[in-house]
Chain A
Amino acid sequence: MIKKEKHEGKVNVPVTILLILGCVTIFFPLYMAVIIAFKQPSEMTNDIMGALAFPKTWSLDNFAEAMRVTDFWNSLGNSLLLTVATVVVAIALHGIAGYAIGRSMAKKKIYNFVYLYIVSGMFVPFAILMMPLVKQTAQLGIANRFGVVVLYVVFYMPMNLLLYAGYLKNIPLALEEAARVDGASTWKTYWSIIFPVMKPMHATVAVLTAMSTWNDVMTPLVIMSGTGKNTLPLAQLNFQTQFGTNYNLAFASYLLALLPILLFYLFCQKQIINGVVNGAVK
């Protein structure tokens, strides 16, 4: 009893203070981005205050201009489209792949081989696939948003298969057998019984897939370069020259690019952190 009190009671004040001070390293770059995004180029003097002091007026002009220059809404739309499409297909396809392969692995060697074959794809760096894929997608006529989604679905398959197959190990077979006795087909059993049971894993897969897709630069950069379409990060890269030395405009644009995921994080923080941890630890 006494021991317990000793452990729960004391708040470690020095550590709390140190950790609060440490937050400066997180907030400083973001603070800098906000301040510069609101300023006018004439306010940017060469000393520290020129960049870090509050702007004279808080005007949204830079943001409006940045939206126009970088074609913000279209880039945002493309990013959303790619992310949502990839997540939906990943959950549908990787989930059922995890079921078919995971359930057959113990009984049949060929499925064990298929499992190892796909999971070992995790070690293939994009750099080696990049050049052949540029050619291949062009030949197939899918050097566009559709092609990028197909590639994402393939790239995240090893990780997601690992997660789904791992999760299924803890789901007893008895659950499906009951349905089988009732005469339901395997296909129907999956969608009505197994798919809902895997909900926690769907959340993890959704978070991991969405974050990788949303922030990815390289795949759309090499595959979609001919379409004139941008994702949010890609727009920052492609309009870099247009920003020139107008850092205020550039930072307004960077901030706009960061805003959607920051807002999303604000509302789904718990799910995001849990998802990421589940994915990494399993």
Chain B
Amino acid sequence: MGKKKMKNDRERTFALITIPIVLLFFCFNTLPLLKGVFYSFTNFKGYGSYDIVGLRNYMDLFSDSRVGNSYLFTIKYAVVCTIIVNVVSLILALGLNSKIKGKTVLRGIYFIPNILGGLVVGYIFSFFFTYILPAVGQTLGIEALSSSMLSSTKTAWFAIVLVGAWQSIAMNTIIYISGLQTVPEDVYEAGSLDGATGWRKFKNLTFPLIIPFFTINMVLCMKNFLMVFDQIMALTKGGPSQSTESISFLIYNNGIDGGQFGFQSANAVVFFVVIVAISVCQMRFMGKKEEQL
């Protein structure tokens, strides 16, 4: 009898905790998501009255060159950043995990960029690209560097890649280090008996063992870089001539201030689908890789 009462108390308490939490989550996550989907079928400007226009926003989306360019830029940015960040942080992690002096201090230093806010870091780098780098270029007589990277449509995107990478490498390095620490020492000993050294040792011994960490880093990187906003806001505000407008920036800029509430909602819905699709693909692909090994 007493036990049953206890069980009921437990179930009731769990239900009383869960229901308000689910309601809260629904109100500020699912409900706005549904509203966003609804607005994507309207010509709402953000104020005043509006009509339902069916799929017109979606049709327009595919013929709008500004939206198309923002997708091209964002995906190019995310892919290049993800590759650079993972290559550099893997090398850095191998270095920081080897037998070096002052390991703790060095690890602490390399992690600093991760704790700093993207916007302020962007402003600092903006000055670097606008004044310092051109001055260096002029002094050394390097034509390509002698004008600001941020003012050319050809190079501005890469400047943003550098800033994004500078910040993200810190995080990925730490994750790779914790991955490398799970590799048992005797694996290396067995390997060195077989004469495995350098690149071969890394490719055949170390890397297969840290693939789960590689997966985490790829998925995290891709997702974060696809949502890039702060760096754009600080470095270029989408310029020059709209060449660095990320999807998030375009939705913010034209959706909130530009009177394209309905249209940008459609953009956001497509963006959401793209993010989910990319993340699922990545995890599937990596999952298969892990199974093979």
Residue positions of A touching B, CB distance < 8 A: 3, 7-8, 10-12, 15-16, 18-20, 22-23, 25-27, 29-30, 32-33, 36, 46-48, 51-52, 93, 96-97, 99-101, 103-104, 111, 114, 117-118, 121, 123-136, 150-151, 153-155, 157, 180, 185-187, 211, 214-215, 217-218, 222, 232-233, 236-237, 240, 247, 250-251, 254, 257-258, 261-262, 265, 269, 272-273, 276-277, 280-281
Contacts and interface: CB of A to CB of B under 8 A. Distances in A.
A8 B13 CA distance: 54
A141 B183 CA distance: 54
A129 B36 contact: yes
B233 A154 contact: no
B119 A237 contact: yes
Given A29-B121, A104-B14, A217 B28 contact: no
B25 interface: yes
A255 B185 CA distance: 43
B178 A15 contact: no
Contacts of A129: 28-29, 32-33, 36
27 contacts: A16-B101, A19-B100, A20-B102, A29-B128, A32-B128, A47-B139, A52-B132, A99-B17, A101-B18, A124-B29, A128-B251, A128-B272, A129-B33, A130-B268, A134-B256, A135-B35, A185-B9, A217-B118, A217-B230, A232-B117, A236-B119, A237-B234, A262-B115, A273-B107, A276-B114, A281-B175, A281-B213
Contact of B252 (A15, A52, A130, A151): A130
A261 to B, nearest CB: 5
A85 to B, nearest CB: 15
A230 to B, nearest CB: 12
Given A100-B14, A133-B28, A258-B117, A276 B125 contact: no
Nearest to B226: A125
Contacts of B271: 125, 127-128
B109 A118 contact: no
Contact of A131 (B131, B132, B264): B264
A217 B119 contact: yes
B21 interface: yes
A121 B127 contact: no
Given A10-B99, A36-B127, A131-B46, A125 B248 contact: yes
A7 B191 CA distance: 14
B175 A277 contact: yes
Given A103-B14, A217-B230, A26 B109 contact: yes
A254 B124 CA distance: 8
Contacts of B95: 15, 18-19
| Residue among A126, A131, A214, A240 having the largest count of chain B Cβ atoms under 10 Å | A131
Q: Which residue, A27, A100, A157, has most C-beta atoms of chain B within 10 A? A: A100
B135 to A, nearest CB: 5
Interface residues of B, number: 89
A150 B24 CA distance: 9
B6 interface: yes
A96 B17 contact: yes
Given A114-B22, A125-B271, A257-B117, A130 B251 contact: yes
Contacts, number: 250
Interface in B127-149: 127-128, 131-132, 135-136, 139
Given A29-B124, A129-B33, A132-B32, 10 more contacts: A11-B99, A51-B127, A126-B227, A128-B269, A133-B28, A214-B117, A251-B127, A258-B116, A262-B112, A272-B115
B10 A186 contact: yes
Contact of B248 (A18, A117, A127, A155): A127
B261 interface: yes
A218 B229 contact: yes
B159 to A, nearest CB: 13
A131 B265 CA distance: 8
Contacts of A16: 100-102
Interface string B268-283: 1101100110010000
B112 A151 contact: no
Contacts of B276: 123
A269 B223 CA distance: 26
Interface string B1-43: 0000010011101100110011011001111110110010000
Contacts of A157: 21, 25, 29
Contact of A233 (B10, B13, B120, B272): B120
A23 B173 CA distance: 14
Given A3-B189, A23-B109, A128-B33, A51 B131 contact: yes
